[in-house]
Amino acid sequence: MAFPLQGDDAARHTPPTPIPDPYWVAFSKSCAELIDIPLANNDLPTDHKWLELLSGNSLETESNQFTAPIASAYSGHQFGVWAGQLGDGRAILLGDIANQELQLKGAGKTAYSRMGDGRAVLRSSIREFLCSEAMHSLGIPTSRALAVVGSKMPVIRETRETAAVCARVAPSFVRVGHFEHFASLQNTERLKELADDLIAKHYPDCRNSKIPYLELFKSISSRNATLVAQWQAVGFCHGVLNSDNISALGLTIDYGPFGFLDQFQIDHICNHSDHSGRYAYHRQPQVMHWNMACLASAMLPLIELSHSDEEAQTLLRSALEEFPITYAAAWQKSFRDKLGLHTSEEADIELIERLLQLMHDSRVDYTTLFRSLGNIDKSTLVKDIALRDHFIDRDGIDLWLKDYLTRLAKESLGDEARRTIMNTVNPKYVLRNHLAQHAIELAQQDDFSEVHKLLNILNKPFDEQPENESYSQAPAEHLQSISVSCSS
Residues classed as catalytic = 244
**Interacting residues of 263 by C-beta distance below 8 A, sequence separation 6+:** 363, 364, 365, 366, 474, 480
Say how far apart CA 449 and CA 443 lie, in whole Å.
8
Q: Which residues pair with residue 144 across a beta bridge?
A: 169
Say how far apart CA 28 and CA 120 lie, in whole Å.
19
Q: Packing angle between helix 348-362 and helix 322-338, nearest 10 degrees?
A: 70
Question: Phi, psi at residue 140, to the nearest 5°?
Answer: -100, 130
Of 85, 106, 73, nearest to 174 (Cα)? Answer: 73
Question: Phi, psi at residue 69, to the nearest 5°?
Answer: -65, 140
Q: Is 204 exposed, middle or buried (0-12, 13-18, 19+ CB in 10 A)?
A: exposed
